[in-house]
Structure 1
């Protein structure tokens, strides 16, 4: 579920990458990857399946697997 980056998205990603709280390697890697691919992934894009998919399956699984960036 990807959305093409706009020029504004690209500028914003570069700004965010400069923030100290996004200085960790995992965050920097994700931001670089997003810019390289030219797309963003948004949870809202998953809502076309059914909102309950996000709340009952997607997020619980992410939390269970501890799949987040510090």
Structure 2
């Protein structure tokens, strides 16, 4: 996973999303946006494919599903 520093547009957009009324009821998403803003970077999941073409489908996604590690 590659860390990418947030630029001004990323920060502005994250704050706009956080202000949406529908967003207020999604605590998991709020934690993710807050964490991203506090850390100053975002993660590029697409970079996982550089490990191996099958890594995402055979390892990463199955692990996330098994751990139920996703946002509602």
Q: Equivalent residue for 1:59?
A: 61
Q: Equivalent residue for 2:6?
A: 5
Q: Equivalent residue for 1:30?
A: 32
Identify unmatched segments of 5+ residues in structure 1.
none
The question of whether the paired residues in 2 share the 8 Å contact of 1:22 and 1:28 is answered with yes
**Alpha-carbon deviation of 1:21?**
3.5
**Alpha-carbon deviation of 1:22?**
2.6
Closer, same or farther: CA 37–61 of 1 in aligned 2, 3 Å: same
Q: How many residues align?
A: 70
Identify unmatched segments of 5+ residues in structure 2.
none
**Alpha-carbon deviation of 1:2?**
1.1
The two structures have a TM-score, normalised by structure 2, of: 0.83
The two structures have a TM-score, normalised by structure 1, of: 0.85
Q: Equivalent residue for 1:20?
A: 21
Q: Tell me, in whole angstroms, the C-alpha distance in 2 between the residues paired with 1:6 and 1:58.
A: 27
CA RMSD of aligned residues (A): 1.4
